Amino acid sequence: MKRSGFTVMRKLIGLVKPLTGYMILAIAMGLTGHLCASFITIFGGYAVLNVLGSETPLSLTVLFVSVAVFALLRAVLRYGEQACNHFIAFKLLALIRDKVFQALRRLCPAKLEGKDKGNLISVITSDIELLEVFYAHTISPAAIAALFSIVLCLFIGQYHWSLGLLALIAYLVVGVAVPLITSRYSGEDGMKFRTKAGDLSSFVLDSLRGLSETQQYGQGKKRLAEMNRRTDELAGDEEQMKRTAGRNTACTNTIILFFDLAMLFASVVLYQQQAVGFGGILIPTVALMSSFGPVVALANLGSTLQNTFAAGNRVLDILEETPVVEEVTGQNNIAFAGASAENVHFAYGEETILDGVSADIPRNQIVGIVGRSGSGKSTLLKLFMRFWEVQKGQVSLSGHKVKEINTVNLRNMESFVTQETHLFHDSIKNNLRIARLDATDEEIIAACKKASVHDFIMTLPQGYDTPVGELGDTLSGGERQRLGLARAFLHDAPFLLLDEPTSNLDSLNEAVILRSLREEGQDKTVVLVSHRESTMRIADKVYSVEHGRVS
């Protein structure tokens, strides 16, 4: 979703609410610190007037002592401001990452099917990291610049109202007009850069995962050339953004010099008209020259914020994405007593998958579902899991529609084994324990024996503590599938949904697992999807799905 920079900024600022106290403290220290820095120069001007014999509000001794105190305070307050800002920034980045992870959980699996994983990784890592610029170097500096400008305008204006007005115009031009013009000039450069960076991350991730296939078919040079092309294109975009930032800095410095000269000229004219004394020339000019620090910080953000707002826009896209399936809470928990599908219609977009499907799944029975690939067998299991909502008809457990059952209660009643078992980059034991965190070693071993994988695990050098590698790539497809079954047995849910659980197994291991399913089926309900006739022999009832219909 495309949002204006103002909208992105407003929404990002809204996230600061839990840390408002720290933000106020950072603004107070920053404002006081900048005033100390400016008044070092201003008091220097007063000292010159004092030496020249002009009347000044403070003695020379007080002026020198004050300058020393201001210098010390400036250092302490600057450190305090930066410490507060960075505490806020990194605390908020942690909170945002947590919010993004929660959002991904809400969106999963329906909204994340087919999503570009490399782009998601780019958002979670580099895009969120870029928000540090906004939280540490934008919010409080903007507030500090506004308050500081008001104080200096009032101070300069006490010599003559026109000088105060000139200072106000100078601050508005440097701190507001320049960054706005620069931001508009940059256009969509920031969003294009972040999008291309995400695409490059996806391409690199794809290339790493498909490295063996790339080598096998001799496509390494072509793949590398494409990666280099994308990298060069991204570098070119970044160079263009930095050129814009450089021009912005040069323009800002030129404008500052112009206003410094304008203040000197205006005060001299007033002096000639006897509207101000010599102090009315020296102090306003020195004050303006020493006071552009806070607004310059805003001017320099004009181009860099494009990149930051683009990153913020991508993060907000995830945070504000509406899930297909909302989590259910607040209902009474139920016990499993059978399941059913009644006249279920479901389509992915315009493609109808299930058309009037009905199936009764009695408690403590094994129900088989057969059919061609793409006929809707796996989709039906996902509807029982409530990964998607049915568009017509209803799916029920224990006589309750799944959309009316507490989500946690529903997940506790079901175990789902898919055709592809995902394994985390961790040990076998920890990969199994995700099904039940409090499982004992004995329970894990028992589940693995039921899945006919215990003997294999014991042949590994570290047994159950053996790392499985990224995505389980150190194991074969059959070994991963048996670990997925072991997870389901360990979860010990009364309703087992198995999608091709023996597709990667030999006949011996299949027989062991089917025997375990039959034994486990004494107090469990099993829905078994498979192409194999041998697998269907243990089923008490078999449904055939063809063209989205059940027979």
Q: What is the pTM of this model?
A: 0.66
Which of 252, 37, 251 lies closest to 144 in space, CA to CA?
37
Which of 106, 473, 46, 484 lies closest to 318 in space, CA to CA?
106
CB atoms within 10 A of CB 355: 16
Phi-psi region of 530 (alpha: psi -120 to 50; beta: other; left: phi over 0): beta
Which of 174, 169, 146, 145 lies closest to 157 in space, CA to CA?
169
Looking up tokens 């291991």 gives 509
Question: 543 forms bridges with which residues in the sheet?
Answer: 369
Phi-psi region of 364 (alpha: psi -120 to 50; beta: other; left: phi over 0): left
In the chain, the amino acid numbered 126 is S
Helices (H) then strands (E): counts for the chain: 22, 10
- CA 376, CA 388: separation in Å to the nearest integer? 13
- CA 502, CA 377: separation in Å to the nearest integer? 15
CB atoms within 10 A of CB 500: 19
- Would the CA dihedral through 482, 484, 490, 494 be positive or negative? negative
Is-contact 371 545, C-beta < 8 A?
yes
pLDDT score, position 55: 75
Count how many Cα atoms sit within 13 Å of the Cα of residue 273 in the half-sphere of its side chain: 8
Phi, psi of 58 (to 5 degrees): -130, 155
Three-class secondary structure of residue 392 per DSSP: strand
pLDDT digit of tens for each residue in the chain (551 aa)?
566 666 777 777 777 778 888 888 989 999 999 999 999 999 988 888 888 877 777 888 888 999 999 999 999 999 998 888 888 888 888 888 888 888 888 777 776 776 666 677 777 777 777 777 777 777 788 888 899 999 999 999 999 999 999 999 999 988 888 877 776 766 566 667 777 777 787 788 778 777 778 887 788 888 888 888 888 888 888 887 778 778 878 888 898 899 999 999 999 999 999 898 888 899 999 999 988 888 887 766 655 666 677 777 888 888 888 887 888 888 899 998 888 889 988 887 778 888 888 889 888 888 888 877 777 888 888 888 888 888 888 999 988 998 899 988 998 899 888 877 888 888 889 989 988 888 899 999 998 888 888 888 899 888 899 888 766 667 877 788 888 888 988 988 889 888 887 776 677 777 777 777 777 667 888 888 887 777 788 888 888 887 656 65
Distance of CA 157 to the CA centre of its chain: 47
Which of 273, 293, 270, 278 lies closest to 46 in space, CA to CA?
278
**Containing H/E element for 41?**
helix 20-51
Looking up tokens 């995830």 gives 318
Domains of the chain: 5-319 (1.20.1560.10), 339-550 (3.40.50.300)
Count how many Cα atoms sit within 13 Å of the Cα of residue 241 in the half-sphere of its side chain: 23
- Cβ contacts of 242 within 8 Å, gap of 6 or more: none
- Cβ contacts of 236 within 8 Å, gap of 6 or more: none
- Cβ contacts of 164 within 8 Å, gap of 6 or more: 153, 154, 156, 157, 158
- CA 385, CA 362: separation in Å to the nearest integer? 17
- How far the first Cα of the chain sits from its last, in Å, is 44
pLDDT score, position 3: 64
- CA 237, CA 186: separation in Å to the nearest integer? 11
- Cβ contacts of 168 within 8 Å, gap of 6 or more: 149, 153
- Cβ contacts of 285 within 8 Å, gap of 6 or more: 260, 263, 264, 267
Distance of CA 353 to the CA centre of its chain: 33
